[in-house]
Structure 1
């Protein structure tokens, strides 16, 4: 589903239709509830504690294809947010739903655009703001060519929106660190909204030690603001190890630009490992630092996700 600022009521006043809570569309939402005015209200929360509340609405949405042709979708379903808190601000137009659920942008435009599929190429952190990440939708968004690796998406009945894949283990340089003896299918969530990778404690501890052993710098231990993170200070680019994430059928090689958070003017030469730990879970998250400089294609029709190493600043 797509969330929008409260001024969508004004901009679309002549064409906006609010859905009744008796509508079957309202029941497609996990959080759809009936308001006193019989409108379908929703509430969505996010991992950073941001929250959006609003009313389910419909309008005609028009998209421009890569050939320049205009494609209109009538009765386009979206959320008109009028109470957005947390990480949202006045400079943002809203959110687009890229999940696999029935009300997401991907599911709604799929029949018009040649299938429920999309691709993304995220630029690395601190890239010049004039250079944008790129996304493609529908036919033509497939990731093809030399170097492409593909892993199955794993569906969960209780969560049809998120994208889960199966991680078998991680290599730090040539040292292979497997998951625990029992590998659960769909143990990693691919999430472009989470910056770091997050690993189960038993795997994180071993990765931490191996990365530490492969960085020829002294670990920062006297800065309480950094907490337990693996951080180093250097005035040049960090010479850290490569990490390979071994997914089912797909090995993804990551360089330090994808595994370490680079310094900002405020952090003054401090690089920190962009991996956190889950203390009470056997699963994890594959976040947007690791996804940068990869062309990644999600094909919901085939239930696979494909990766191709790419300089996303030149797409």
Structure 2
């Protein structure tokens, strides 16, 4: 019995030691986690973003611009729902879920347009078979997030318009208007401009339109019907476009809308930067050079820029601009891979190349082929698991979300896009997460419904990058730190 008591006495210190060691390990782990948050601001690990939680949401007031434009034609670019926007209305912006649902509508419309253009069966033949076709001469503008301010006419009338790389024809609403949506500014009045003129039907600009007609006096009429059934109809015209007080573009061809309906918000119209001859960038090429660049700010409370022509940033990394004959308006890029936290996600370049990738200023969230997105999401989630962040509910099309409540800083794995030719473009933190609120910050990528659908490089992933469209040399570049 004495011997048993001795054994028990010898075992007790051992068990106490195990308990003490376990407790010490728990305290050590907790201390390490606390230390990571306390010292995060001193410098991130390689290939990780370290961000203050307090900075996740944009300020309520417009902040000073730190954009670096390349020439005198540069225009300020602002988010139409942010405090810097001339269109900002009283009250709160639309809910995030609504904006993302509208974004999906735009994506569907891009996919329909490209699929229809690639189909060997003509619209007429489809109609003969009794198939109902959506209008596909344009793209949904429900998510035209970014606007610029220009002047039109002589004297110049200030106009705030959406800028869109997925459209060609620029237009504003004009008076008299038989059916116009409500906009912030008065309608443009051609009668008050000494430089306004109608474009005749025989003019090359009219002949180049996809949908046109002639008035009884042989003046050109245009019609653009977007994928969500929004539309603008009116007279094709010329007038002086004022970019800055000292920089004008005489004889600019645009649409003077007289019947306009749809999801255009309170914007006065649109500036198209597509690849066709009627776009602003094409019309301005003789003066500024064949190309343009822009930088979208990291926050809806800051400003970026849109610049015609000008030199590319010294740090820009270029990839070939691909051309598709069936959809000549779109800018295609050769996306071939994705990296997370510095490591390549295992997806064959063939997956990305199957349908190609369009870069689009109007789409919010980048769309990837399903296999590529699944691999990206898995790698990102595993990396986030390193810090044990609490998961949050999905937000519309975004299914990988986190709750950062209670944290002072967060560590997020970097994401880089890899393009044909080897250009690897690292994304700003604002291009990795879409933050609806501190308790719901989501991976800012989504999957296409089908591997045959074209991929889309959206504007969230373009934030803070100087995006250079070098049309003359058929290449697109990305420069880091283009704006803040």
TM bucket by the smaller chain? Answer: 0.7 to 0.9
Number of the residue aligned with 2:318: 150
Flag the 1:71–1:55 CA change in 2: closer, same or farther, 3 A: closer
Inter-partner Cα distance in structure 1 for 2:370 and 2:380: 15
Q: Which runs of 4+ in 1 moved over 6 A?
A: none
Match of 1:88 among 261, 264, 281: 264
Partners of 2:439 and 2:459 in 1: how far apart? 21
Moved more, 202-211 or 172-181: 172-181
Q: Which residue of 1 aligns with 2:236?
A: 56
2:295 paired with 1:121? yes
1:186–1:205 distance in 2 versus 1, CA, 3 Å? closer
Query: Counterpart of 2:426 in 1: which secondary structure?
Result: strand
Report the TM-score, using the length of structure 2 for normalisation.
0.56
Distance 2:226 2:312 in 1: 28
Partner Cα separation in structure 1 for residue 209 and residue 410 of structure 2: 45
Task: Kindly indicate whether the alpha-carbon contact (under 8 Å) linking 1:167 and 1:179 is maintained by their aligned counterparts in 2.
Answer: no
Instruction: Say if 2:360 and 2:456, in contact at 8 Å, map to a contact too.
Output: yes
Match of 2:259, SS state, is strand
> What is the Cα-based RMSD across aligned positions, in Å?
2.6
Spell out, residue by residue over 1:145-177, the C-alpha distance to the aligned partner (whole angstroms, 9 max, x if none).
Answer: 2x3210110111122221101011111221423
Q: Paired residue for 2:458?
A: 287
Deviation at 1:186, TM superposition (A): 7.8
- Sort the Cα spacing of 1:228 and 1:153 in 2 relative to 1 into closer, same or farther, 3 A: closer
Give the whole-Å Cα distance in 2 for the aligned partners of 1:273 and 1:11.
50
Higher Rg: 2
2:381 to 191, 202, 212: 212
Matched-pair contact (CA < 8 Å) for 2:352–2:369: no
Q: Give the superposition deviation at 1:133.
A: 1.1
Gaps of 5+ in 2: 1-168, 175-186
3-state secondary structure, aligned to 2:391: coil
The question of 1:76 aligning with 2:244 is answered no
Q: CA deviation at 1:242?
A: 1.1
Shift of 1:98: 1.1
Question: Quick one: which of 401, 404, 412 aligns to 1:231?
Answer: 401
Pairs within 5 Å for 1:1-315: 1-6=169-174, 7-10=187-190, 12=192, 14-34=194-214, 38-46=218-226, 50-64=230-244, 69-73=246-250, 75-90=251-266, 92-113=267-288, 115-126=289-300, 128=301, 131-138=302-309, 141-145=310-314, 147-173=315-341, 174-179=343-348, 181=350, 184=353, 187-216=356-385, 217-221=389-393, 226=396, 229-235=399-405, 236=407, 238-249=410-421, 250-263=423-436, 267=437, 269-280=439-450, 281-310=452-481, 312-313=483-484
As a proportion of its length, which structure holds more helix?
Answer: 2
SS at match of 1:203: helix
Aligned residues between the structures: 296
Q: Does the 8 Å contact 2:428/2:464 carry over to 1?
A: no
Q: Distance in 1 between matches of 2:231 and 2:446?
A: 23
Shift of 1:227: 5.8
Check 1:16–1:241 CA distance in 2 against 1; reply closer, same or farther (3 A cut).
same
Find the aligned partners of 1:76 and 1:255 in 2 and give their Cα distance: 36
Partner Cα distance (1:193, 1:11) in 2: 32
Flag structure 1 segments of 5+ consecutive residues without an equivalent: none
The alpha-carbon deviation at position 311 of structure 1 amounts to 5.2
**Inter-CA distance 253–213: structure 2 relative to 1 (3 Å threshold):** same
8 A Cα contact 2:397 2:446, kept in partner: no
On the 8 A contact 2:293/2:307 being kept in 1, the answer is: yes
TM-score (norm 1): 0.83
Partner secondary structure for residue 209 of structure 1: helix
Change (3 A) 1:103 1:311: closer
Kept in 1, the 8 Å contact 2:316–2:478? The answer is yes
